């Protein structure tokens, strides 16, 4: 089945149409949302890297948890062992994305590196029922997340689509952001054949009419549509570190080498940065059951759809918001996103989607 065939099968409209035939098969107990008052949890994330001698000389950038404490994540400690000739922690000049940088030149010994991060997290939730006070963010921060990038253009079909979704330009940003979120949930699909987390090429998605992808595609579409109508928005790139308390498909513990996940936020002048994740709603539809798609009216989907506008279960850690940027020290090319180990060797950049040949492994445990 190719992407086009899958699109016709898995769009929100098709799933809704099929609901009458499969809803009777839903026998799962009513799910309960992740608790909003959950305590802080501590995680240890270990990244092990080995470099083939033929790749030397080599430069390596590892994404590490975002700097600065938030109400949902704190970086506690970082340690490393290995034999690189040079190491350092750097921030990219545009987004301040932190990376652990290492460099090898000598082929005399097998290049190895282990980086251990300790992080604490707690579930994040915005209480929309409270009487919110005005929230002020630096103007330069908001301006940054209103800008166009190579993968997230804001003109043409992107703005035209957002204008159709949110025709009332005078409406509150919350109302317009909600309309974009609901449109993505109903009109996109998770494509299991997409490599990694996807590329986030939203113009291609809209022009081709192929609204399939993974988290870096679907959440980038939310970000681009929101920015195009004047709502500051950004992707947050990170990795899952524990099982979910509610959904089988929305967690990963132990070996997290392939557990990278991108989320999104938009800015509201009374609530600040509001977390969303329409891509994970589509993941629940596709992956919560192994043998079938869930309909939009399945209790697990309805709960995810409700929860993931304004809340994140923090069995995940955030790395950065860096998209279409060069890292520091400067990479040979800009990266569409930075949530995988990235390396440049003697023959060019290594394929971070192929960790067996790149020779890296990530593990997580709660401590």
CATH number, domain at 266? 3.10.620.30
The whole-number pLDDT of residue 228 equals 97
Phi, psi of 9 (to 5 degrees): -85, -35
344 and 290 belong to one structural domain: no
For the segment 43-58, what is each residue's pLDDT rounded down to a tens digit? Answer: 999 999 998 888 899 9
Q: Which two tokens stand for residue 17?
A: 């149409």
The whole-number pLDDT of residue 24 equals 35
329 and 312 belong to one structural domain: no
Give the whole-angstrom CA distance, residue 260 versus residue 317. Answer: 10
238 and 352 belong to one structural domain: no
Reference 320, options 360, 265, 252; nearest CA is: 265
CB burial readout 48-87, b (16+ within 10 A) else e: bbebeeebeebbbbbbbbbeeeeebbbbeebebebebeee
Q: Is residue 349 part of a domain?
A: yes
Q: Is residue 127 part of a domain?
A: no
Q: Is residue 128 part of a domain?
A: no
Total domains in the fold of the chain: 2
195 and 270 belong to one structural domain: yes
The whole-number pLDDT of residue 29 equals 65
The whole-number pLDDT of residue 14 equals 36
For the segment 232-260, what is each residue's pLDDT rounded down to a tens digit? Answer: 999 999 999 999 999 999 999 999 999 99
Torsion 51-42-93-80 (CA) sign: negative
The whole-number pLDDT of residue 234 equals 98
Q: Is residue 142 part of a domain?
A: yes
291 and 332 belong to one structural domain: no
Tokens 């609204």 belong to residue: 211
Strands 58-63 and 98-104: antiparallel
Domain of 87? Answer: 41-121+323-366
Q: Is residue 47 part of a domain?
A: yes
Q: Which residues of the chain have pLDDT under 50?
A: 1-27
329 and 315 belong to one structural domain: no
Helices marked H in 73-208 — which ranges? 139-144, 157-165, 173-187, 202-208
Q: Is residue 126 part of a domain?
A: no
What's the order of all strands across the beta sheet hosting 233-240?
A: 272-276, 260-268, 233-240, 316-320
Q: Is residue 233 part of a domain?
A: yes
**Taking a C-beta distance cutoff of 8 angstroms, is the pair 237, 63 a contact?**
yes
For the segment 135-146, what is each residue's pLDDT rounded down to a tens digit? Answer: 889 999 999 999
Report DSSP letters for 177-229, one per residue. Answer: HHHHHHHHHHH-EE-TTS-TT----HHHHHHHT--EE-HHHHHHHHHHHHHHT
Could you give the 3-state DSSP secondary structure of residue 145? Answer: coil
Q: Which of 320, 337, 357 is the last residue of a domain?
A: 320
13 and 73 belong to one structural domain: no
The β-bridge partners of 98 are 91
350 and 241 belong to one structural domain: no
173 and 290 belong to one structural domain: yes
The whole-number pLDDT of residue 108 equals 75
143 and 226 belong to one structural domain: yes
Q: Which two tokens stand for residue 77?
A: 């400690």
Could you give the 3-state DSSP secondary structure of residue 13? Answer: helix
Q: Which of 320, 337, 352 is the last residue of a domain?
A: 320
Reference 283, options 314, 262, 253, 256; nearest CA is: 262
Q: Is residue 192 part of a domain?
A: yes
* Nearby residues of 1 by Cβ (< 8 Å), 6 or more positions away: 9
The whole-number pLDDT of residue 131 equals 72
CATH code: domain of residue 334: 2.60.40
Cβ neighbours, 10 Å, residue 308? 23
78 and 16 belong to one structural domain: no
> What is the H or E stretch that residue 90 is in?
strand 86-91
269 and 356 belong to one structural domain: no
Give the whole-angstrom CA distance, residue 72 versus residue 53. Answer: 41
With a threshold of 0.85, does the pTM exceed it?
Answer: yes
């Amino acid at each position: 089945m190719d992407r086009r065939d899958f699109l016709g099968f898995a769009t929100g409209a098709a799933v809704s149409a099929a609901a009458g035939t499969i809803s009777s098969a839903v026998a799962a107990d009513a799910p309960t949302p992740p608790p909003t008052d959950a305590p802080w949890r501590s995680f240890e994330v270990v990244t092990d890297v080995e470099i083939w001698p033929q790749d030397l000389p080599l430069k390596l950038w590892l994404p590490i948890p975002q700097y600065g404490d938030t109400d949902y994540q704190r970086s506690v400690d970082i340690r490393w062992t290995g034999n690189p000739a040079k190491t350092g922690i750097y921030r990219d000049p545009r987004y301040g994305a932190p990376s652990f940088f290492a460099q090898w030149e000598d082929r005399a010994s097998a290049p190895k590196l282990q980086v251990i991060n300790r992080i604490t997290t707690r579930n994040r939730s915005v209480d929309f029922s409270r009487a919110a006070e005005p929230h002020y963010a630096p103007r330069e921060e908001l301006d940054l997340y209103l800008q166009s990038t190579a993968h997230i253009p804001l003109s043409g079909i992107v703005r035209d689509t957002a204008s159709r979704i949110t025709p009332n330009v005078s409406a509150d940003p919350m109302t317009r952001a909600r309309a974009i979120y609901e449109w993505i949930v109903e009109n996109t699909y998770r494509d299991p054949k997409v490599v990694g987390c996807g590329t986030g090429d939203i113009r291609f998605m809209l022009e081709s009419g192929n609204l399939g992808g993974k988290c870096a595609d679907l959440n980038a579409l939310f970000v681009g549509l929101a920015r195009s109508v004047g709502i500051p928005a950004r992707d947050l790139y990170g990795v899952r570190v524990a099982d979910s308390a509610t959904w089988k498909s929305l967690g990963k513990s132990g070996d997290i080498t392939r557990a990278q996940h991108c989320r999104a936020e938009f800015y509201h002048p009374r609530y600040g940065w509001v977390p969303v994740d329409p891509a994970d709603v589509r993941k629940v539809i596709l992956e919560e059951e192994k043998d079938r798609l869930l309909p939009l009216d399945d209790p697990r989907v309805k709960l995810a759809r409700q929860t993931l506008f304004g809340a994140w279960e923090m069995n995940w850690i955030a790395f950065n918001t860096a998209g279409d940027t060069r890292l520091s020290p400067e990479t040979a090319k800009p990266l569409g996103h930075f949530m995988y180990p990235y390396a440049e060797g003697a023959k060019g950049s290594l394929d971070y989607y192929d960790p067996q040949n790149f020779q890296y492994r990530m593990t997580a445990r709660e401590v």
